[in-house]
């Protein structure tokens, strides 16, 4: 059984989408992660045994616990190859697929935080890129569509698409035909 630790309106929603695409049975254990959720609750300290930073999502499967959206999504797509959501090892699209699986958390998310806070980007020392540069690259990449790897839908579309929807909704990124 797959067990997803999730909180509504979180990155865990992307994993629910992926689990639905895979079609494997799963259960959800809801974990409060925001004190601002109206209840004053946050994840219990015991949840650190699942995720050391009390974050969402996390997944348990066959006795293994994992966290980080890209890692979970990569694991699930590889664990359930019959769903056809990942290029196989040796496929020329495997490298670009893995790049997109981690680009969201490694580049896009920090660039958005930087854009919306006082964090500053410093070329050569910061692990992400300026948001304007990221947005330009995303637009250019999405124009090649219909999916991020070309003609085939993959887990990378789920990880990227779930984040882009939020950026458009919050008016951080323009809703262009390519993004739509």
d(CA 78, CA 74): 6
Model pLDDT, residue 38: 53
First to last CA, the chain: 34
Model pLDDT, residue 42: 84
SS3 call for 66? strand
Model pLDDT, residue 36: 46
Name the strand (E) or helix (H) holding 5. Answer: strand 2-6
Model pLDDT, residue 35: 53
Structure-block tokens of residue 39:
């209840």
Sign of CA dihedral 78, 82, 8, 41: negative
pLDDT digits (tens, 9 = 90+) for 20-31: 999 999 999 999
Model pLDDT, residue 126: 84
pLDDT digits (tens, 9 = 90+) for 151-176: 999 999 999 998 888 888 888 888 88
| Residues lower than pLDDT 70 in the chain | 34-40
d(CA 102, CA 54): 20
Nearest to 19 by CA among 76, 97, 98: 76
Model pLDDT, residue 39: 57
Model pLDDT, residue 10: 85
């Amino acid at each position: 059984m797959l067990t997803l630790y999730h909180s509504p309106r979180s990155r865990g929603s992307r994993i629910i989408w992926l689990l639905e695409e895979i079609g494997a049975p799963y259960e959800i254990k809801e974990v409060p992660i925001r004190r601002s959720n109206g209840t004053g609750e946050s994840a219990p300290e015991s949840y650190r045994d699942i995720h050391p930073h009390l974050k969402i999502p996390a997944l348990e499967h066959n006795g293994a616990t994992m966290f980080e959206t890209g890692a979970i999504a990569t694991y699930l797509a590889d664990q359930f190859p019959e769903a056809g959501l990942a290029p196989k090892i040796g496929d020329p699209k495997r490298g670009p697929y893995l790049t997109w699986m981690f680009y969201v958390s490694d580049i896009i998310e920090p660039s958005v935080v930087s854009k919306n806070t006082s964090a500053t980007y410093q070329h050569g020392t910061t692990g992400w890129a300026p948001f304007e540069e990221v947005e330009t690259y995303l637009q250019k990449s999405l124009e090649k569509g219909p999916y991020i790897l070309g003609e085939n839908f993959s887990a990378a579309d789920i990880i990227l698409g779930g984040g882009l929807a939020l950026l458009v909704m919050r008016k951080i990124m323009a809703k262009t035909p390519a993004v739509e």
